[in-house]
């Protein structure tokens, strides 16, 4: 959920308006960035936040009367395009655990303040990556924490016989059990082998949660291995038939021939079987990914300390 700050005009996540209270949380009329810059919540009205606070029985810090706080001229960031650039940059930080670990929110907020007030003459750009915007804002985050060398990677692959330890399919991706973005742990006991797909799905998901969700679908994983083996066999056979057809065409020196046409028909049937099997395989892979993503989102929802 997002609110618009009555001071700077940025429309950002509601967490920026929430503060701890003695009994219940407090909601402020302006964002934490503006509060850090020296603005006072009590000097600004914010009808949306006030009504929301009342509905949740939270304390509202701000003017109660309705003012023209939605006029663009009253905002610190007066231009809409500039506000969009700041909003996207802040959203990138809010959703990046790696950046939050290495960069304190107060330090990040100060960089925004310096940009808004002209102390730093750079404004975040939508066409730049988050890392590029951080660098130009004078902030530093190391996004390359995976320092496993080639020898250790090969050692892990040999140890697990090139088999994904999550689904059982063939794999070459050396995966960190505890995500390297969270643990910074490149030790061998934190490494395991996975297929590229499981590595991508797991991403920053805690190892225990991924294993728990994976243990709920053993039959699905077994089917995936069968699909992979069957497709490998069919595709291998198809490539062999294709080479035989090419060799026959070369020897005969013709394109149209009853024997060649018969071979093409057989190859077409084999290709149709491959396409059909591949479609079923991809459907099951998609369902499996949805299983993990749903479980991960529900787990994150439980951990959220946010409004509603």
Please provide residue 63's backbone torsions phi and psi, each rounded to the nearest 5 degrees.
-70, 140
Query: What does DSSP assign to residue 305?
Result: -
Average pLDDT over residues 217-221: 97
In this prediction, residue 72 has a pLDDT band, given cuts at 50, 70 and 90, of: very low
- pLDDT at position 142: 82
- pLDDT at position 150: 87
My answer on whether 238 and 294 are in the same domain is yes
Residue 141: pLDDT above 90? no
The residues, ordered by sequence, that sit 6+ positions from 211 with a Cβ below 8 Å of its Cβ are: 166
In this prediction, residue 68 has a pLDDT band, given cuts at 50, 70 and 90, of: low
Could you give the CA distance from residue 134 to residue 96 in angstroms, rounded to a whole number? 12
Residue 143 lies in a domain: no
My answer on whether 63 and 90 are in the same domain is no
Residue 70: pLDDT above 50? no
Q: Residue 96: left (phi > 0), alpha (psi -120 to 50), or beta?
A: beta
Query: pLDDT (tens digit, 9 = 90+) per residue, 254-300?
Result: 888 888 899 999 999 999 999 999 999 999 999 999 999 999 999 98
- 185-to-146, 165, 174, 201 alpha-carbon distances in Å: 9, 19, 13, 20
Residue 207 lies in a domain: no
Produce one character per residue of 153-173: b if its CB has 16 or more CB atoms within 10 Å, e if not.
eeebbeeeeebbbbbbbebeb
Could you give the CA distance from residue 214 to residue 192 in angstroms, rounded to a whole number? 15
Largest alpha-carbon pair distance within the chain? 92
Residue 109 lies in a domain: yes
Could you give the CA distance from residue 168 to residue 226 in angstroms, rounded to a whole number? 10
- pLDDT at position 297: 93
Look at residues 225, 171, 232, 182 and name the one whose alpha carbon lies nearest to residue 204: 182
Final residue belonging to a domain, choices 21, 45, 73: 73
- Please state the domain count of the chain: 4
Average pLDDT over residues 186-212: 92
- pLDDT at position 66: 59
Domain of residue 229 covers: 218-303
Average pLDDT over residues 126-148: 87
Produce one character per residue of 24-60: b if its CB has 16 or more CB atoms within 10 Å, e if not.
ebbbbbbbbbbbebebebeebbbbebbebbeeeebeb
Contact yes or no for 213/291 (Cβ under 8 A): yes
My answer on whether 155 and 132 are in the same domain is no
My answer on whether 65 and 105 are in the same domain is no
Query: What does DSSP assign to residue 127?
Result: T
My answer on whether 197 and 224 are in the same domain is no
- pLDDT at position 64: 80
Residue 209 lies in a domain: no
| The model's pTM | 0.68
Residue 120 lies in a domain: yes
- pLDDT at position 69: 46
3-class SS string, 163-213: ECCCCCCECCEEEECCCHHHHCCCCHHHEEEECHHHHHHHCCCCHHHHHHH
In this prediction, residue 67 has a pLDDT band, given cuts at 50, 70 and 90, of: low
Residue 211 lies in a domain: no
């Amino acid at each position: 959920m997002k609110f618009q700050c009555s001071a700077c005009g940025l429309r950002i996540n509601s967490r920026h308006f929430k503060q701890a209270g003695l009994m219940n949380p407090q909601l402020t009329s302006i964002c934490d960035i503006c509060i850090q810059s020296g603005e006072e919540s009590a000097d600004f009205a914010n009808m949306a936040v006030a009504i929301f606070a009342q509905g949740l029985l939270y304390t509202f810090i701000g003017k109660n009367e309705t003012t023209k706080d939605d006029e663009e001229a009253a905002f610190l960031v007066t231009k809409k395009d500039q506000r969009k650039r700041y909003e996207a940059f802040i959203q990138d930080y809010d959703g990046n655990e790696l950046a939050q670990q290495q960069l304190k929110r107060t330090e990040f907020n100060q960089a925004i303040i310096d940009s808004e007030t002209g102390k730093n003459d750079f404004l975040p750009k939508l066409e730049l990556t988050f890392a590029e915007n951080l660098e130009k804002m004078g902030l530093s985050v190391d996004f390359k924490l995976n320092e496993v060398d080639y020898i250790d990677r090969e050692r892990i692959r040999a140890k697990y016989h090139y088999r994904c330890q999550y689904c059982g399919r063939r794999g070459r991706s050396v995966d960190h059990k505890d995500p390297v973005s969270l643990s910074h742990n490149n030790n061998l006991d934190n490494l395991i082998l996975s297929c590229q797909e499981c590595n991508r799905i797991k991403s920053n998901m805690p190892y225990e949660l991924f294993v728990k969700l994976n243990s709920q679908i053993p039959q699905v994983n077994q089917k995936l291995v069968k699909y992979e083996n069957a497709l490998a066999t069919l595709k291998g056979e198809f490539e062999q038939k294709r080479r035989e057809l090419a060799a026959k065409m070369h020897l005969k020196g013709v394109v149209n021939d009853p024997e060649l046409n018969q071979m093409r028909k057989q190859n077409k049937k084999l290709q149709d079987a491959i396409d059909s099997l591949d479609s079923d395989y991809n459907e099951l892979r998609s369902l499996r990914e949805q299983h993990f993503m749903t479980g991960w989102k529900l787990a994150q929802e439980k951990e959220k300390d946010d409004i509603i």
